[in-house]
Amino acid sequence: MSNQVVCLEVSHAGSWYSASGPQLNAQLEGWLSQVQSTKRPARAIIALHAGCTYCGSCATHAYKQVDPSITQRIFILGPSHHVSLSQCALSSVDIYRTSLYHLHIDQKIYRELWKTGMFERMFLRQNTNIPCKSVRMSLPLSLLISSVVPSDFCHWGQRFRYSYYDKSHRETYRSIEYLDKMGMSIIEQLDPISFSNYLRKYHIIICGRHPFGVLLNNMSFLCLNYVQSNQCRNWQDGSVTYAAGTLTVH
């Protein structure tokens, strides 16, 4: 399985990225220049995994808190949307080719993780994460030099088969915001049991719910930015919530 390369720019051109090459770089730099690095250096961040068009400006609130000058490795802990996993999975490729540059996977760390017996292999093309199925996995803090959890929050609407609504908030989008911020508050309290209870009670669709469980130990979390893709006002509307946050070690 050595020397395999996954190209990320072909299938996502014009959809995942709203630009390419120098234009994409300029777009990202523009968003980053408008955000302050108030919580640097972050040990981990909760970012977003929708296309730049939808949530790029929100995501930069989290990425701005990462200090490249002191970051040795980055771990991406993400959900598996299309494949059922019995445990966490490692990518089977060595290099990801993106619209900006190649990303080389640290094979030494992969071998160390593989030896734990807690991982299986992910063989999908365009896989960009280390998908986490179980919240019981625990990575040593010595490995978590800098971690990125790509995740959206509430997916609301008929196409997501989720329509929780608290009429006390009147507008649907305000009910969604209340539900989202309840979950963020629980994450800020670093309480994995309450977070699990929250998920069970409201059945809310949060992509990175399992990776969140990995990080809710020995860290403090702060939500930096919150937006909704659409302000829902009736049952025919749909919305995906985007939130950016940072985690630092106590």
Q: How is residue 188 written in tokens?
A: 């800020």
Confidence category of residue 174, pLDDT binned at 50, 70, 90:
very high
pLDDT at 176 over 60: yes
Provide the mean pLDDT of the chain. 75
Decide which of 101 and 231 is more confident.
Answer: 231
Say whether pLDDT at 207 is over 90: no
Q: What is the CATH number of the domain that holds 132?
A: 3.40.830.10
Higher pLDDT, 49 or 192: 192
* Residue 85 identity: L
Note the pLDDT of residue 144: 41
Of 54 and 199, the one with more pLDDT:
199
Cα torsion 121, 125, 127, 132: sign = negative
| CB atoms near residue 142 (< 10 Å) | 6
The letter for the amino acid at 184 is M
Higher model confidence: residue 165 or residue 13?
165
Q: How many CB atoms lie within 10 A of CB 117?
A: 8
Structure-token match 């395999």, residue found:
4
Q: Model confidence over 97-148: pLDDT tens digits? A: 777 778 888 888 889 889 988 888 876 444 344 444 433 343 443 344 456 6
| pLDDT for the residue 234 | 86
Cβ-contact 107, 68 below 8 angstroms: no
**From 2-16, 48-62, 92-106, 221-235, the region with the lowest mean pLDDT:** 2-16
* C-alpha to C-alpha distances, 79 to 181, 201, 206, 216, 222, nearest whole angstrom: 21, 21, 9, 16, 21
User: In this model, does residue 6 exceed pLDDT 60?
Assistant: no
- The alpha-helical segments, DSSP class H, found in the chain are 21-33, 52-63, 107-115, 172-188, 192-202, 209-215
pLDDT at 5: 38
Q: Are strands 44-47 and 238-249 parallel, antiparallel or unpaired?
A: antiparallel
Asked which of 45-49, 70-74, 117-121, 201-205 is least confident by mean pLDDT, the reply is 45-49
Q: For residue 29, what are the contacts with CB-CB under 8 A and spacing of at least 6? A: none
The Cα 100–Cα 111 span in angstroms is 27
Highest mean pLDDT among 36-45, 73-82, 143-152, 197-206: 197-206
Q: Which residue has the higher pLDDT, 249 or 247?
A: 247
Note whether 29 and 56 are within 8 A (CB): no
58: left (phi over 0), alpha (psi -120 to 50) or beta: alpha
- Rounded to an integer, the average pLDDT of 78-105 is 78
DSSP output for 190-249: T-HHHHHHHHHHH----TTHHHHHHH-SSEEEEEEEEEESS---STT-EEEEEEEEEEEE
pLDDT band for position 173 (cuts 50, 70, 90): very high
Residue type, 249: V
Percent of the chain with pLDDT over 70: 74
Task: Say how many domains are in the chain.
Answer: 1
Q: What is the domain extent for residue 101? A: 5-249
What does the pLDDT read at residue 149?
A: 66
Q: What's the pTM? A: 0.61
Q: What is the largest CA-CA distance in the chain?
A: 56
Residue 250 has pLDDT above 80, yes or no: no
159 versus 53: the higher-pLDDT residue is 159
Mean pLDDT of 198-207: 88
How far apart, in Å, are the Cα atoms of 176 and each of 170, 188, 213? 11, 18, 22
- Dist. CA 24–CA 38, nearest whole Å: 25
